[in-house]
């Protein structure tokens, strides 16, 4: 285990089990919604780079409905120079008007990133807009955001890495999610 990690919070097996559950539940929800309109375009699953990459890959492979991929990349500066400022580094390739959109996020922390993305997408008039996050950290929330599907809810304010989540860009490739030792945690 890398030196910065205190302990494993969710093992690869815990994650796989939960992702499979989420995938089948989400498929069921959209199948029910889509069944009424045969002309409706397939679900557009939007992964937020870079952190959601492994989750998006596993979640969509646990889904058995027609779907398309797209990606957005944003950078956030909260806690440093300008609180809550979010910059779009890569926007969607596809138009989203009248499409069903599912945003896939690694973690919702203060909520600023997601709030900004949702505002930008809502004005493009999607048919529906839902959010699936692997991790939710409600204890740190600063803005209220709608989250429809949550993998795991963290009780405290711990900083975690692995399965897409980084520490100074490292450790995204760990197959598990680990808690970073207090002495390494950013404030």
Helix axes 12-34, 53-61, angle to 10 degrees: 60
Query: Binding to ligand 5GP by residue 112, rule CB under 6 A?
Result: yes
Query: Binding to ligand 5GP by residue 161, rule CB under 6 A?
Result: yes
Query: Binding to ligand 5GP by residue 51, rule CB under 6 A?
Result: yes
The phi, psi pair for 55, rounded to 5°, reads -65, -45
By CB under 6 A, which span of 3-11, 20-28, 89-97, 164-172 interacts with ligand 5GP? 164-172
Say whether 109 is catalytic. Answer: yes
Q: Give the total of residues touching ligand 5GP (CB under 6 A).
A: 18
Contact yes or no for 153/140 (Cβ under 8 A): no
Residue 132 or 161 having the CB closest to ligand 5GP: 161
Two structure tokens written together for 72: 């957005």
Query: Binding to ligand 5GP by residue 136, rule CB under 6 A?
Result: no
By CB under 6 A, which span of 2-10, 13-21, 36-44, 103-111 interacts with ligand 5GP? 103-111
Residues between 64 and 83 that touch ligand 5GP (CB under 6 A) = 76, 78
Task: Give residues with Cβ within 8 angstroms of 164, minimum separation 6.
Answer: 50, 51, 52, 53, 54, 55, 106, 134, 172
Query: Binding to ligand 5GP by residue 103, rule CB under 6 A?
Result: no
Task: Give residues with Cβ within 8 angstroms of 81, minimum separation 6.
Answer: none
Query: Binding to ligand 5GP by residue 159, rule CB under 6 A?
Result: yes
Query: Binding to ligand 5GP by residue 107, rule CB under 6 A?
Result: yes
Contact yes or no for 100/74 (Cβ under 8 A): no
Q: Is 110 helix (H, G, I), strand (E, B) or coil?
A: coil
Q: How far is residue 86's CA from residue 74's CA, in Å, rounded to a whole number?
A: 7
Give least dist CB 86 to ligand 5GP, A: 7
- Interface residue list for ligand 5GP (CB under 6 A): 51, 76, 78, 106-114, 159-161, 165-167
Residue numbers annotated as active site:
109
């Amino acid at each position: 285990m890398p030196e910065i990690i205190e302990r494993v919070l969710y093992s690869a097996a815990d994650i796989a089990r939960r992702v499979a559950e989420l995938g089948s539940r989400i498929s069921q929800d959209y199948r029910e919604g889509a069944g009424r309109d045969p002309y409706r375009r397939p679900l557009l699953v939007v992964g937020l780079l870079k952190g959601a990459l492994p989750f998006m890959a596993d979640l969509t492979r646990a889904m058995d409905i027609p779907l398309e991929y797209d990606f957005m990349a944003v950078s956030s500066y909260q806690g440093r120079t300008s609180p809550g400022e979010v910059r779009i580094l890569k926007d969607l390739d596809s138009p989203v008007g009248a499409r069903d959109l599912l945003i896939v996020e690694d973690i919702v922390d203060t909520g600023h990133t997601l709030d900004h993305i949702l505002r930008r997408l809502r004005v493009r008039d999607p048919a529906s807009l839902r959010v699936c996050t692997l991790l939710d950290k409600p204890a740190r929330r600063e803005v209220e955001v709608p989250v429809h599907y949550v993998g795991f809810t963290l009780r405290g304010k711990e900083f975690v890495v692995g399965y897409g989540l980084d520490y100074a860009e490292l450790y995204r490739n760990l197959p598990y999610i680990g808690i970073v030792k207090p002495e390494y945690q950013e404030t």
